[in-house]
Chain A
Amino acid sequence: MLKEMIGRKSEKTKNVIERGAVKKFAEAIGDASPLFTDEEAGKQSVYGRNIAPPTFPVTFDSGSIPGLNLPPKGLIHGEQNYVYTRPLFVGEEVHCWVEVKEYYERTGSFGKMGFLILTRYGEDGEQQLLFTEERIVIINEAARKEMEK
C-alpha cells in the first residue's frame, strides 16, 4: 500500500553536473544559451561559471526508495515544483535523495485516483541544500488496483 510508503527515503546518491550532459539537455529544450554551454561566456557571467537550466535535476540519480514499485503504465504527471537557493553550477557535485512526501486518494469522474507526492532533494558537497523538486504523480484506477494485488 502506498500510504505505508509515506516518509520513506532513498539513500543519498552522488551526481556530477557534466558539461556535455548540460549542453545536450539545453539543446533538447531549445535553450542552448552560452551561459549554459560556453565556458568563456560562463566565466564572464555574474556567476563566474556556467550554470544548468532549472529543470536539469530530472537527469539526476537519486537512488531508489525501498519497496516503492510504481506500475509502468497508468501514471500521469500532474505537477512539478522547483525551489532553488541558487542556480546549479556546471562541474559541481550534487548529492540527491528522494522521499515519499504524501499519498492520498480522491474519487472523481474517472474513478478513484491516487496522488503520490515525491520530493527530490539536492545538496552541495558541504551539505547545503541547493534545491527541492516536488513531483505529483497521479495513478489511475486500473494502475492503482494493479498495485494492490
Chain B
Amino acid sequence: MSGIAQLEVGEALPAIGLEPVSRLDLIKYAGASGDFNPIHTIDEEAERAGLPGIIAHGMWTMGNLAKLFTPYLGEGFIETYSIRFKGMVFLGDVVSLKARLKEKDSEKQIFDVEAVNQDGKKVLSGSLAFAVLKNQPPAAERSPSHGL
C-alpha cells in the first residue's frame, strides 16, 4: 500500500475503532508480552489494588495504536514513538486510534497520535516520527527478491 508520503500537514490517517476490550484480549497480551501483572487479568487482584476492575496494559493500547502505520511500512519505518499514558482502559471500553500529520520534510513525517475511549477521553497520546526510506525504487520496478 502507498500514500503516506502524499499526506498533507493537518490530514489524518484512516482511524481504527477497536472492538470492546475483552478479558481474553488482555490474557493474550499478558502471554505474548510476558507482563503477568494480575491487575490486568484477575478481578480480585485489581480490586485489591484499589481499581474498580481489571485494566488493559498501557502497552497493549500503545501496541495497538502503532498499527495505524503498518500499511505504510513499505515506504518507511517508525523511528521514534513516544507516549504518555493518560487514563485507564477498562473491560468493555471501545477505543479509537488516531494519527494526524503535524509536520513533514523529505526525510520524515511527525504525527500526533492518540487513543480515545467511548466517552471521548484520551487514554494515551503522544508523537510518532515516520522515517521515509531512501533510494527506494517504485514498487513496480522492484524484483520480488529485492532486499534493502
* Interface of A toward B, CB cutoff 8 Å: 21, 24-25, 27-31, 33, 35-36, 43-49, 51, 53-55, 58-59, 73, 76-84, 86-87
Contact = CB atoms under 8 A, between A and B. Distances in A.
Contact of B84 (A53, A58, A73, A79): A79
A96 to B, nearest CB: 13
Nearest to A33: B70
A25 B81 contact: no
A-B pairs with lowest CB-CB distance, top 8: A48-B147, A29-B63, A28-B32, A31-B67, A81-B82, A55-B63, A25-B32, A82-B81
Nearest to B84: A79
Interface string B50-84: 00000000111011101100110110011111111
Interface of B: 18, 25, 28-29, 31-35, 49, 58-60, 62-64, 66-67, 70-71, 73-74, 77-85, 133, 136, 142, 144-148
Nearest to B58: A77
Interface of B is mostly: mixed
A80 B80 CA distance: 11
16 contacts: A35-B74, A43-B144, A45-B74, A46-B136, A46-B148, A48-B145, A55-B62, A58-B59, A59-B33, A77-B58, A77-B59, A77-B85, A80-B58, A80-B85, A81-B83, A82-B80
A80 B136 contact: no
Contacts of A77: 58-59, 85
Given A29-B67, A83-B79, 20 more contacts: A24-B28, A29-B29, A44-B145, A45-B73, A46-B136, A46-B142, A46-B146, A47-B148, A51-B77, A55-B59, A55-B81, A58-B33, A76-B85, A77-B59, A78-B84, A79-B84, A84-B77, A84-B79, A84-B80, A86-B77
Given A43-B145, A46-B133, A47-B147, A54 B32 contact: no
Given A30-B18, A46-B136, A58-B34, A82 B82 contact: yes
B82 to A, nearest CB: 4
Given A30-B67, A47-B147, A58-B35, A80 B62 contact: yes
Contact of A54 (B18, B49, B81, B84): B81
Contacts of B49: 73
A30 B95 CA distance: 13
B60 A29 contact: yes
